Structures are given as structure tokens and as C-alpha cells.
Structure 1
Amino acid sequence: MDISKIKANEVDTTYGFKIGNPEAPVKIIEFINLRCPYCKQWYEESKELLAEYVAAGKVQRIIKHFDKEKPSLAKGNVVHHYLDYTHPEKALEEMDYFFEKQDEWGDLGGAADVEAYVEEKRGLSLNPNEKEINGIIEEAGRANVVFVPTIFIGDEIFDEHITTKELKDLIEAELK
């Protein structure tokens, strides 16, 4: 991933699901799309380590579900509109499900099929989260974030190609 054009100073914690202590010394900002297989890789490989740091009060995750115009991610955009920004822990549970079943719902015909799946399988309904979603899209535009996943920890910007050890080292360096 070419990060040379990304303006990290345009990325903040205003929009997104906030998981963990707002006073945590380390903020991890994650631009993801639920249909993206690379986002799934990042999510699954970092999940346990990040959960430990969040539970310890050392990290707060800000997860930004990024609606992308790319056709292969359109079904993820549909799912994003069903997540409840007022209940981030519940949204995190839903992310677990949607990443686990990504191929199942991702192979459905179109947006209406995905909507029906989300409503039937998870009992979710559309949420009035347009302000959040539009804020994330605008923020990504200002910051030149074009790929998912794009993750920020302090001055570091990276994608799914990070080992658990490298991730831990980045977090530990921010804690010093």
C-alpha cells in the first residue's frame, strides 16, 4: 500500500465505532469494509491482541466502516447501514458474524438480498447512521484514504500485512 499521499493529520476519532476506554493512551483508527477479504484478514489476525489491550484500558479502537464505491465492496456498504453506532460492543459482535459469514452473504445476488439476509439472520434493521457513514466518507476523502483496510496507530499507517508481533511492538512503542 502506498501511504505517501495519505494525510494522517486529517484522520481523527470523531466518527466510527469506539471500542474501549476513551482515555486509553493509544488510539487505533481502522478504515474497513465488511465485504473486503483483506479487512477480514486484519480483523481476524488482530482481534485477540487488540481485545487484550482494550480490556487492559491501554487501547481504544475507532472502527470506521467505509462505504466504498467499488462494486466488489457494495454489499459491505449495505451491511454497514444496519450497524448501530450507539451500541459499539454489539456492533463488534455483529462484525464477528459478518466477517465469519462473509462468503455466504457476499455471494448473494444484490443489495435487496443482502438486506433480507441481515434482517432475517441477525434480526437487524436499518439504523439512522448516515451522519456517521457520511462523516467517515468525507474524512477518508480529506485524508486520501482510498484502500481498506487502512489502519493508523500514532504516526504509523499500515494495512493487513502486519504480523501480530509488529502490531504489538507498535502499540508498546506508543505506550512509552
Structure 2
Amino acid sequence: MTEIKNSYLVIGDVNAPVKIEVFLNYACPYCATFFDLVDNTLPKYFAEKKVALVVKHYDKPREMLLPGTLINANLDYSNPERTLEIISELFKDQAKWDKYSSFEIKKYIEEKYNLKEEFSNIDRSLLITAEAIERNVKMVPTVFINELEFQYPREIFAEELVEVIEKELEKVEA
């Protein structure tokens, strides 16, 4: 298995045998659907230390994704647990804030979460963008489960996600 780069936000044990990496954008509705799938499908795997999810916000240059880029600029990656809670809330409330102006988004994230722009996020964003280019990530969400790739519009659903995880776990146990 290749080394996991840019593992700033990890749910589960980083040493778990199955690594799921997701390139996403907080303003993408398909990413919100995927994150909901994670919340509803993977907690038992996290608790059993069988799966680690590595979340990589991709500041993909598309107009509809710019609100996600503004959100990303303000997240405090030095506090990953809180940041993951915020991301989960943001995805659930996405329809509320994704049409806000840039000013309104900055105000929203500051007032609701007490966050301000984190300049270290510029470097983090550039590293993740470079990795996305290196790995030929064209769309969000793009999901890698160990070496298997699922790139939107090829979506992965709950049953298939569990099936792929179980197959990967069987490989480790064999």
C-alpha cells in the first residue's frame, strides 16, 4: 500500500488495515451525500480500528465550489476532532449556506464556529491540490479504498462500500 499523504483529518485509527481517502469539497452536494454515507455506514469499522478515513478538502477551481474553498480557509486543522464535527454540520446545513456571498460565508463561519482565516491552510490546500493532480483526481468526490478508485460520476453506495471494505479486510487476514 502506498503512503498516505496529507492526512490532516483522519476518522478512525491511522494504522487501520483499510484506508479510505476522499477528495471532497464542502460545497459539493455529492460530497455531502458521501459524508452522510460515512456517518451512517462506517462508525462500527472506526470503533473496531479496521478503517481509517482520510478527508482531503480539494479547493477545485470551479465556481460552484468556491464557497467550500472559503470554508476550508477558515478551518482549524490543528484541532481535527472539532474540525470533523464542523464539517459534518456544514454538510448537513449545506443548502443553507452554499448560496451565501463570500462575505456572508466568512461571517457565518466566524459567528457560528468562532473561526477566522488560517493562513497555514493555503499551504495545506496547495499540497492537496498537487496530490490531486498527481493522482488524476478530476472530480469530487473521489474516493480511494486502499488502491481502488471511485471517481464521481461513478458513485459508491453503502452496500458496495461495505462489500469493498470486507474484501479488503479479508486480504489482510489471509
TM-score (norm 1): 0.88
Q: Cα deviations across residues 127-157 of structure 1 (Å, max 9, x unaligned)?
A: 2222221110110111110100000002211
- Higher mean alpha-carbon deviation, 153-162 vs 92-101, is at 153-162
Q: Cα deviations across residues 32-87 of structure 1 (Å, max 9, x unaligned)?
A: 00000000111112322222211211111110000011000000000011222222
Give 1:97 deviation, angstroms: 1.2
Picking from 144, 159, 162, the partner of 1:152 is 144
> Could you tell me whether the CA contact under 8 Å between 1:13 and 1:62 is conserved in 2?
no
**Corresponding position: 1:124 with 2:115:** yes
Give 1:100 deviation, angstroms: 1.2
Equivalents in 2 of 1:51, 1:80: separation in Å? 24
Give 1:159 deviation, angstroms: 4.3
Where does structure 1 differ by over 4 angstroms across 4 or more consecutive aligned residues? none
Aligned to 1:4: none
Give 1:172 deviation, angstroms: 0.9
> Could you tell me whether the CA contact under 8 Å between 2:12 and 2:46 is conserved in 1?
yes
Equivalents in 1 of 2:126, 2:44: separation in Å? 31
Aligned to 1:45: 37
**Corresponding position: 1:70 with 2:59:** no
Structure 2 residues not aligned, in runs of 5+: none
Report the AA paired with residue 109 of structure 2.
V
Equivalents in 1 of 2:140, 2:73: separation in Å? 17
Give 1:15 deviation, angstroms: 4.0
Does the residue aligned with 1:34 lie in a helix, a strand or coil? coil
5 Å-filtered alignment, 1:83-98, equals 83-98=75-90
Report the AA paired with residue 127 of structure 2.
G
Give 1:98 deviation, angstroms: 0.6
Give % identity. 35
> Could you tell me whether the CA contact under 8 Å between 1:15 and 1:136 is conserved in 2?
no
- Higher mean alpha-carbon deviation, 39-48 vs 66-75, is at 39-48
**Corresponding position: 1:169 with 2:137:** no
Equivalents in 1 of 2:60, 2:6: separation in Å? 19
* Number of residue pairs aligned between Structure 1 and Structure 2: 167
Equivalents in 1 of 2:115, 2:42: separation in Å? 26
